[in-house]
Amino acid sequence: MPFFTLTDTDGDARAGRLHTPHGDAPTPAFMPVATQGSVKALDSADLQNIGATIVLANTYHLYLRPGVDIVDDLGGLHGFMRWDGATLTDSGGFQGFSLEHLRRITEDAIIFKSHIDGSEHTFSPEAAIQHQQRLGADIIMPLDICASADSDEDTVAVAVDKTNRWLLRCVETHARADQRLFGIVQGGLFPELRRKSAQFITGVGFPGYSIGGLSVGESKRAMYDTVSLTAPMLPTDAPRYLMGVGSPEDLVECVARGIDMFDCVLPTRIARNGSLFVKTGRLNITAARCKRQYAPIEEGCDCYTCRTFSAAYVHHLFRAKELLAYRLATIHNLRFILRLMEEMRAAIIAGEFADYRREFHSRFVPPDERTRRDQKQKWLASFNRG
């Protein structure tokens, strides 16, 4: 059986299925982020109940704590997390961007200073693959260089060239036939560099392709334009993964541009701050008006939180700083996102995606561009504070 089956298209939007040793994942797919082997506030049963089929974990953080050897001893990520579905690990490349104050990049590796105890650790392309092979994820990523959104063209060009050199080292090191190694297209916001990167990576050939270096502070229009440029450069018979993107409006727009896979911490991060997705946008559950909202957070929502509790109860939990608030809010937000993916898949199969896209935008109002970018910058800055 092939790794990826493309079953339906509607315009550029695609529906398909990933086939992994730990089960199939229908696409378009959103991967909840289990950075340290845990989607914050949830366990594996929660993930199954909300309809997750694939999750993402972070190689760098698991390497630091508890250590790759412990995860390996417990049966890899699947045994460690007690998660039976598919898994993907990133390589540590994003930490080379987000932990800029704690790393230096040489020709051979990214050298990190641990944010936990200050010890020094070298992530070479070879080490990144070896760690991921021991973690046992179904899909793994090569070590790459992610440039910031405001980098000049020369800086991004150097990053692309180094990413390409490192990619070949990753390919040579990768030895597990039951894991799929993706290529990553970099190039910032520069069309010619994106073309250069895509041409090189597709020339090597991979079972799947990632688009990196976006959602790092650029405008939505710049991100959409770059996805529109890059996605058609990638093979139609392989999945296309847009890294780090997860706001509802971005998911809809990037599915429309031919993307199959996504991950992002946004749904879980804002849930812990009391910001909940509803059909019309975001609801601040801590607002006074929710104190006497005896109905669910959203009528018709099929998540456990809305089927069981009132918005007033969740409001109370946040006001009282009860830990249950984080679990219930996270369940709601992730189920909202996963249901969005299911609805888009059904619309693509039915040939009705354009109508679905119009209807979504007619009711869902995202934060304004300035607010969104300020929030993103605060989140990125949090890495630099350790």
Domain span at residue 257 reads 4-264
Structure tokens at 30: 């959103």
Q: Report pLDDT digits (tens) over 325-351.
A: 999 999 999 999 999 999 999 999 999
User: Of 90, 138, 144, 260, which residue is the catalytic one?
Assistant: 90
- Positions of E strands within the chain: 4-10, 13-20, 23-27, 29-31, 33-34, 54-58, 86-90, 103-105, 110-113, 120-123, 139-140, 180-181, 183-185, 209-211, 240-242, 261-263, 275-278, 281-284
In-domain check, residue 30: yes
Is 90 one of the catalytic residues? yes
Same domain, 220 and 301: no
State the total domains in the chain. 2
The one catalytic residue among 144, 250, 260, 263: 263
The string of pLDDT tens digits covering residues 291-303 is 999 999 999 999 9
Give domain status of residue 374, yes or no.
Answer: no
- On whether residue 287 sits in a domain, the answer given is yes
pLDDT of residue 384: 44
CATH code of the domain in which 103 resides: 3.20.20.105
Together in a domain, 304 and 217 = no
Do 101 and 223 reside in the same domain of the chain? yes
Note the pLDDT of residue 96: 86
Would you say 188 and 229 are in contact if contact means Cβ atoms under 8 Å apart?
Answer: no
- Phi, psi (rounded to 5 degrees) for 131: -60, -45
Query: φ and ψ at 253, to 5 degrees?
Result: -65, -35
Q: Do 278 and 235 belong together in one domain?
A: no
Q: What is the pLDDT of residues 159-203, one digit of tens each?
A: 999 999 999 999 999 999 999 999 999 999 999 999 999 999 999
Residues 119 and 237 in one domain: yes
Q: Is the pLDDT of residue 287 over 60?
A: yes
Task: For residues 109 and 137, state if they share a domain.
Answer: yes
Task: Mark whether 257 and 276 lie in a shared domain.
Answer: no
Q: What is the pLDDT of residues 253-283, one digit of tens each?
A: 999 999 999 999 999 999 999 999 999 999 9
Contacts of 184 (CB under 8 A, 6+ apart): 93, 141, 142, 144, 163, 167, 201, 209, 210, 211, 212, 243
Instruction: Tell me if residue 93 falls in helix, strand or coil.
Output: helix
| 212 within a domain of the structure (yes/no) | yes
Residue 386 lies in a domain: no
pLDDT of residue 138: 98
Task: Write the single-letter amino acid at 367.
Answer: P
Asked whether residue 260 falls in the same domain as residue 286, the answer is no
Distance CA 305, CA 311 (A): 9
Half-sphere exposure of 151 (CA within 13 A, CB side): 23
378 in any annotated domain = no
Query: Does residue 291 share a domain with residue 227?
Result: no
| Ranges 30-44, 72-86, 153-167, 371-385: which has the least confidence | 371-385
Beta bridge pairs of residue 326 = none
- Tokens standing for residue 370: 């300035």
Query: From CA 41, how far away is CA 59, in angstroms rounded?
Result: 20
**Residue 319 within any structural domain of the chain:** yes
Tell me: the pLDDT tens digits for 115-142?
999 999 999 999 999 999 999 999 999 9
Please indicate, yes or no, whether residues 39 and 105 belong to a single structural domain of this protein: yes
Residues 250 and 347 in one domain: no
Same-domain check for residues 234 and 311: no
The closest of 185, 184, 204, 206 to 194, measured between CA atoms, is 185
- Report if residue 371 sits inside a domain: no
Beta bridge partners of 10: 13
**Active site includes 46?**
no
